[in-house]
Structure 1
Amino acid sequence: MSGPLLKVENLTKHYPLGTGFLKKTIPVIRAVEDVSFSVEAGETFCIVGESGCGKSTVARLLMRLVAPTAGRVLIDGTDIAGLRQHALRAWRRRMQMVFQDPYSSLNPRLTTGQIITEPVENFERLSRRQRQALAADLLRKVGMSPEMIHRLPSELSGGQRQRLGIARALALEPSLIIADEAVSALDVSVQAQILNLLMDLQQQMGIAFVFISHDLRVVEHIAHRVAVMYLGRIVELAPCEALFAKPVHPYTEALIAAAPVPDPTRVRLEVLVEGEVPSPINPPSGCAFHPRCPLAVERCRIEVPPLVPMADGRVVACHVRAPATEIPGSAVRSNSSAHATLRMIRS
């Protein structure tokens, strides 16, 4: 079909904190608020942000592990957000997930071979010979020996368990894999092996990835496009090279400036951001980032900024850096004065 493989429109998830009394209004946790993006076949789309910004909730919404409060999730034009369980089951073959913890996401009672073939047997019957051949083939694809087919997860290292999780996700030959912090629990050397494995598999099989991470080094290595989330909303979405070369949203600048730099002589920008992330139960009015933003103006405190397309193909939600409209007499500063809050330092 023409169009993107995955299209997300105005995805929202609220968690109520109680049942209320006499139908009174009850507070809710606004985990995800009005998120929209698309993913092309064979693309790696990364979502980054601080802990608690809603990244993992988006992953679970895409997989329909939780039901959305509002919005649509379209796979090849079909809205899976509204499907009932029986109709949704057929779409499970198209999308799989690699979880953050490579141990707790695996059944400790099953062998490596059983873990890999179990998803397939949910849809079709396999003979013993077919199961062994499938498990051995997928173990080779993820860089493991077929001789490990009878081992339990407890007998594998962390990197091997994560490879096993990837092999399980590949068993149904999906078009889309959601990877939620898939390398965050691994050593740096093992991280590189897993990332290179994912990129090789993508080239061989044309799989699209939605890769969720807080590690900007990982994102810069693997992503085609990057969405930056803050308190449940996307604040900037751009091609990977453009985002890291010239971030536009103040929060994106702060994230990149806070990332460790291995070269002690490298000069980078320092962005002064103070305070803590606000509570999703009672988010600030207007732009959620304005209490911490050094560029905030009065308009930021009143009006939620829309995502505005820019000339280089990115979209940004910021009244200062990407104003949708110019308001006569407003206190919005120009880009040159906005960048004056940054100063060059040595890492």
Structure 2
Amino acid sequence: MSRPLLKVENLTKHYPTAAGFLEKAAPVVRAVEDVSFSVEAGETLCIVGESGCGKSTIARLLMRLIDPTSGRVLIDGTDIAGLKKHELRAWRRRMQMVFQDPFSSLNPRLTAGQIITEPVENFERLSRKQRQALAADLLGKVGMSPELMNRLPSEMSGGQRQRLGIARALALQPAVIIADEAVSALDVSVQAQILNLLMDLQQQLGIAFIFISHDLSVVEHIGHRVAVMYLGRIVELSSCEALFAKPVHPYTEALIAAAPVPDPARVRVQAPLEGEVPSPIDPPRGCAFHPRCPLAVERCRLDVPPLVPLADGRLVACHVRAPAEGRPDHLGSVPESSLAVG
């Protein structure tokens, strides 16, 4: 069995805060807590969850824009989380990022051609002819005319700017691209074009995507597997098809039930969430979701549920739906639920 292209093991990020006058020790913000997953070449792993659950923090940790408190990030078997700055430089080419805002993520003083070739020139010298050829090729790959090479980002539409951001990410021929809410700032019609572009590029180049989004309709369209996060932890990791057909974790059920249904003839199965997301500075003991969970039992208030495998291969962290001490065949006992019933 071949090893995964990217493997994340027990990734944790805590941010220290200032101690209060009467506090003996400064509390910490538990942004990401013991997260593990893997991604194969040519696969799209989507990470979903409410705002503040740690999705974007994971993206920054994977890119080593911030250092983890603990855990490992392995690319081709090498742990980049522990590399020094000069050692990390060579691995920067293996992973690139497409940001949420296609305007603020681009240098407004550089032309499209310069934006695309700048990452490459950080590693190797290019002649003027090579720069032009590279920019023209990558603009063509993302569906833009090479004639736009000399335009500034301010002279482009939002969709064109995001295509430019994707072209820049492709310039170093990365194995993994992290897309952090890459279509959320775009019109719906443009979103579809960008999503189809990413899927076409994946098919052509074999790139792995980590796609971070709060829009479940986008995730259902582009994802192969989905990791559902709540308060810094993964609570369900499943194939996209299985997750939307039959969610297991109560939080996943509530997320899907809250998503808009475009067909007015379909009746939604309601699974409303009550209460607010707890503070990552003072998370609840046991399962962080138990104060809002309609299925919570006493054990949920005491012990953190581990991610355990079910019969269909998905991983779920829930004492009620996936007891850790039981055999991995509890999926059959899950009450029927779905996106909608007709």
Q: TM-score range by the shorter chain?
A: over 0.9
1:113 paired residue number: 113
1:161 paired residue number: 161
Q: Is the 8 A contact 1:270 1:343 kept in 2?
A: no
How far apart are the structure 1 equivalents of 2:165 and 2:201?
14
Q: Is the 8 A contact 2:9 2:37 kept in 1?
A: yes
Q: Is the 8 A contact 1:264 1:346 kept in 2?
A: no
Q: Deviations over 1:42-64 (max 9, x none)?
A: 10000000000000000000000
Q: Is the 8 A contact 1:308 1:322 kept in 2?
A: yes
1:218 paired residue number: 218
Q: Deviations over 1:271-330 (max 9, x none)?
A: 13200101101000000000000000100000000001000010000000001126xxxx
Normalised by the length of structure 1, the TM-score is 0.94
Q: Does 1:69 align with 2:72?
A: no
1:147 paired residue number: 147
Secondary structure of 2:292's counterpart equals coil
Q: Is the 8 A contact 2:19 2:25 kept in 1?
A: no
Q: Does 1:52 align with 2:56?
A: no
How far apart are the structure 2 equivalents of 1:308 and 1:319?
10
2:191 paired residue number: 191
Instruction: Supply the RMSD in Å over aligned alpha carbons.
Output: 2.2
Change (3 A) 1:19 1:127: farther
Q: Does 1:33 align with 2:6?
A: no
Q: Deviations over 1:168-205 (max 9, x none)?
A: 00000000000000000000000000000000000000
Q: Is the 8 A contact 1:309 1:315 kept in 2?
A: yes
1:329 paired residue number: none
Give the residue type in structure 2 aligned to 1:310: L
Secondary structure of 1:35's counterpart equals strand
1:263 paired residue number: 263
Give the residue type in structure 2 aligned to 1:117: T
2:300 paired residue number: 300
2:207 paired residue number: 207
Give the residue type in structure 2 aligned to 1:88: L
Q: Is the 8 A contact 1:272 1:294 kept in 2?
A: no
Change (3 A) 1:20 1:73: farther
Secondary structure of 1:73's counterpart equals strand
Normalised by the length of structure 2, the TM-score is 0.95
Give the residue type in structure 2 aligned to 1:37: F
Give the residue type in structure 1 aligned to 2:151: R
Deviation of 1:343 after TM superposition, in Å, equals 10
How far apart are the structure 2 equivalents of 1:49 and 1:22?
35
Deviation of 1:25 after TM superposition, in Å, equals 1.8
Q: Deviations over 1:117-172 (max 9, x none)?
A: 00000000000010001001100100111000011011110000000000000000
Change (3 A) 1:96 1:231: same
Q: Is the 8 A contact 1:270 1:344 kept in 2?
A: no
Q: Deviations over 1:86-122 (max 9, x none)?
A: 0000000110000111011000010000000000000
How far apart are the structure 1 equivalents of 2:66 and 2:89?
14
**Unaligned stretches of 5+ residues in structure 2:** none
1:179 paired residue number: 179
Q: Is the 8 A contact 1:9 1:35 kept in 2?
A: yes
**Unaligned stretches of 5+ residues in structure 1:** 327-333
Deviation of 1:36 after TM superposition, in Å, equals 0.1
Deviation of 1:339 after TM superposition, in Å, equals 3.8
How far apart are the structure 2 equivalents of 1:92 and 1:320?
42
1:101 paired residue number: 101
How far apart are the structure 2 equivalents of 1:19 and 1:278?
20
Q: Is the 8 A contact 2:244 2:338 kept in 1?
A: no
Give the residue type in structure 2 aligned to 1:69: T
Deviation of 1:269 after TM superposition, in Å, equals 1.5
How far apart are the structure 2 equivalents of 1:191 and 1:109?
26
Runs of 4+ in 1 over 3 A off after TM superposition: 19-24, 342-347
2:244 paired residue number: 244
Q: Deviations over 1:217-241 (max 9, x none)?
A: 0000000000000000000000000
Change (3 A) 1:21 1:130: farther
Deviation of 1:6 after TM superposition, in Å, equals 0.3
Change (3 A) 1:345 1:154: closer
How far apart are the structure 2 equivalents of 1:345 and 1:43?
28
Percent identity over paired residues: 83
1:331 paired residue number: none
Change (3 A) 1:171 1:343: closer
Deviation of 1:24 after TM superposition, in Å, equals 4.0
How far apart are the structure 2 equivalents of 1:274 and 1:38?
32
How far apart are the structure 1 equivalents of 2:142 and 2:114?
16
How far apart are the structure 1 equivalents of 2:332 and 2:196?
38
Secondary structure of 1:196's counterpart equals helix
